[in-house]
Structure 1
């Protein structure tokens, strides 16, 4: 489908940190989910992963909901490795990636399938009642915030749905351990079965309701 190919090309060209093989795996996982419901990602940055999900959503008649406060994670703040001063809103002195995110989605022609919610994930979660077909966790990677996202959202994934977790590195030398901790806790719950992943992207299918 040419429109889907265009969205995948736009995802590859968009600013962000997700390698294409992992983004393509996320797209394939979202396209393969059989249960009804939207696709929801926690952590959007400038929209790259949202476009991989949008390609799957367009093929399957779904919507993508992105949840991000758009103030950046810890590593994006002044003095940290990934800080970009051009993203700071001078009026408030804080990062604001929302304009760049909206431009990414608009330039790709994906505004019809991507719904952006500007909020902290734990603030939105208590208001959310629709079972999710796919949940993609890629928010802030501190232990506290990663656990908070897990506690807020994993229970909202439908049986038969897919949980995707990004930046899972079993070896501390390769990256932070917070997403790996989420992955291990989810596996230990006994509610999921592991699906083939790619790189640092782990995929798990929900097989039973939360206990």
Structure 2
């Protein structure tokens, strides 16, 4: 498998792959994966055509780690097609990281009940309805002590945000650290008051993003630009 000396090397191979991962978020994935111990296992829920998968696998290449990519690759109007899996595999092969990725072509909710392998990092970017997100977060039970969990679209999706709000409750296994765009970083550990307040402080930004989505659906792009969103695409 190829070796990658820097994030720039990995991003050069990943940036042309279709997907919704920004350069800053890709850098976050890279940094989180690079801080792991040799032989680390990263679970990625939701791979699409492999943009994030390439970044994660490249980050682990020098240390012998592995990305387990979970995606059913179903025929979907927005996120999938009959050729999505083949494109995913082609992109990994082109980037030279296929040997560092194990594909599990199934729904995360079907994989989770029988999952037993320890994890060093969990990246959640699967189906965005609240029930699926709640179930995906249960993979945190397999993350090693001190490990982290990254959630994409955490503050730009109604379903994802509702799925993480239960982490505010007493006895939650995860505490909120920070975000890069809509990608949130959680760490294994019981949240304190400051952790809960940090998470609650993101809700106005989440409401702004939902409002922009509504404006884009109504084709009111001028109003979206006034709100600071100069793009045809949803905030992510």
Normalising by structure 1, what TM-score? Answer: 0.78
Alignment partner, residue 28 of structure 2 = 25
Distance 1:154 1:160, change over 3 A: same
Q: CA deviation at 1:35?
A: 9.0
Paired residues, number: 186
Q: CA deviation at 1:162?
A: 0.7
Q: Is 2:109–2:135's contact at 8 Å kept on the other side of the alignment?
A: yes
Q: Is 2:70–2:106's contact at 8 Å kept on the other side of the alignment?
A: yes
1:100-135: CA deviations, max 9, x gaps?
Answer: 100110110001111111111122223321110000
Q: Is 2:38–2:64's contact at 8 Å kept on the other side of the alignment?
A: no
Aligned-partner Cα distance in 1 for 2:128–2:64: 31
1:126-164: CA deviations, max 9, x gaps?
Answer: 33211100001100111222223223x222212111100
Q: CA deviation at 1:36?
A: 6.6
Do residues 163 (structure 1) and 149 (structure 2) align?
yes
Alignment partner, residue 184 of structure 2 = 202
Q: Which has the larger radius of gyration?
A: 2
Q: Which has the higher strand share?
A: 1
RCO higher in 1 or 2 (8 Å CA, sep ≥ 6)? 1
Alignment partner, residue 93 of structure 1 = none
Corresponding residue to 1:190 among 168, 172, 184: 172
Aligned-partner Cα distance in 2 for 1:196–1:60: 26
Aligned-partner Cα distance in 1 for 2:124–2:11: 20
- Where 1:168 maps in the other structure, the secondary structure is coil
Unaligned runs of at least 5 residues, structure 2: 191-236
Aligned-partner Cα distance in 1 for 2:90–2:69: 14
Corresponding residue to 1:68 among 31, 52, 71: 71
Aligned-partner Cα distance in 2 for 1:186–1:158: 18
Alignment partner, residue 114 of structure 1 = 101
Alignment partner, residue 9 of structure 1 = 12
Aligned-partner Cα distance in 2 for 1:52–1:27: 6
Unaligned runs of at least 5 residues, structure 1: 90-95, 170-174
Distance 1:112 1:15, change over 3 A: same
Aligned-partner Cα distance in 2 for 1:10–1:176: 28
Q: CA deviation at 1:17?
A: 1.0
Normalising by structure 2, what TM-score? Answer: 0.71
The CA RMSD over aligned residues, in Å, is 2.3
Corresponding residue to 1:139 among 109, 113, 126: 126
Q: Is 2:38–2:65's contact at 8 Å kept on the other side of the alignment?
A: no
Alignment partner, residue 157 of structure 2 = 176
Distance 1:133 1:149, change over 3 A: same
